[in-house]
Amino acid sequence: MEGRPEVEPRNEEQMDCERERAEDEWRSWQRGQVRNTLHLVSAVAQWILLLACLIYLGIDFLQPSTPQSDEVPWTLIRYSGPSIKGVAINLTAERGSIQIRNGSIMIPCDGLYLVSLTCSLYLEEDLLKLTLQKTEKPKNRDLWIQTVQSSGNTVNPIAVNFTTALFLFREDNVILCTNSNANISDLSLSLVLQSPPEEALCWS
C-alpha cells in the first residue's frame, strides 16, 4: 500500500512524455505538410510561367513579319541635273515610304530625322548656297545651309557631304534649292525617322 504513491507520479511523467512526443510529431507533420504545399504551389507557378512563355513565343512566331519600310518612314532620293536659282530642285524618290510631291518631301510623322546628303556641284558663279528649306508662307524657313565656293577650276566639281539631325513635324514640306544656277551630279539625299512612329503623331 505504501508503494502506490510512487507509481502514480511515474505514470504521470510517462503520460506527459508521450503527450509531448505526440505534439512534436504533430508539429513535424504540419511543417512537412506546409513544405509540401509550398513546393506544389511553386511547381504549379513555374509550369504556368513556362506555359505563358511558350504561348507568347508561339503567337510571336505566327505573326507575319512587317518590313522595316512599313514601320519607320524613310526615303532615298537620287538626282543629277541642273539647279535653277531660287527654284526647288525636282526631286523624286528612288526608294522608301516617304512621299515626294512636286519636288517637296512630305514629312509624315513628328520626330527626329537623320538627314544625309552627298553630291558634286559644278558652279556657274564663284559662290553658291545649297539650302534645305521648309516651305512656309510668306517665306520659306532654312533648315540647313551649305556654302560652296568655287576654286577657279570649272572642270573639277566641288564635293558636298553632310549629315545632320532635324526635328520635323507631320505635314512639313521640305525642299532643296540653290541661290544660283549650277549643275548637280550624283546627288544622294536620305531621310530616316529615328524614333518609332506613333499613330497619333503621323498622318496617312
CA distance linking residue 118 with residue 74, whole number of Å: 17
Q: Which amino acid is at 117?
A: L
**Whether pLDDT at 171 is above 60:** yes
Give the mean model confidence (pLDDT) for residues 62-87. Answer: 75
Q: What is the reported pLDDT for 56? A: 57
Structure confidence by residue, pLDDT tens digits, 2-24: 555 555 555 666 676 777 777 77
**Residue 27: its H or E element:** helix 4-62
Give the mean model confidence (pLDDT) for residues 30-50. Answer: 71
CA distance linking residue 86 with residue 83, whole number of Å: 9
CA distance linking residue 128 with residue 123, whole number of Å: 7
Residue 171 corresponds to which cell in the numbers above?
Answer: 505635314
Q: What is the reported pLDDT for 11? A: 67
**Whether pLDDT at 204 is above 80:** no
* This model's pTM is above 0.85: no
Give the mean model confidence (pLDDT) for residues 86-98. Answer: 92
- Tell me the pLDDT band of 190, cut-offs 50, 70 and 90: very high
- Give all strands (DSSP E) within the chain, no chain letters: 74-83, 93-96, 100-101, 104-106, 111-123, 127-134, 141-149, 158-168, 173-178, 182-193
Q: Which residues contact 83 (CB under 8 A, 6 or more apart)?
A: 89, 177, 178, 181, 182, 183, 184
Cell 512534436, residue?
24
If you average pLDDT over every residue of the chain, what do you get? 80
Q: Are 94 and 190 in contact (CB under 8 A)?
A: no
Q: Output DSSP code: residue 86.
A: T
The pairing of strands 173-178 and 104-106 is: antiparallel
- Tell me which residue of 158, 163, 159 sits closest to 189, measured CA to CA: 163
Count of CA atoms in the C-beta half-sphere (13 A) of 87: 9
Q: Are 83 and 183 in contact (CB under 8 A)?
A: yes
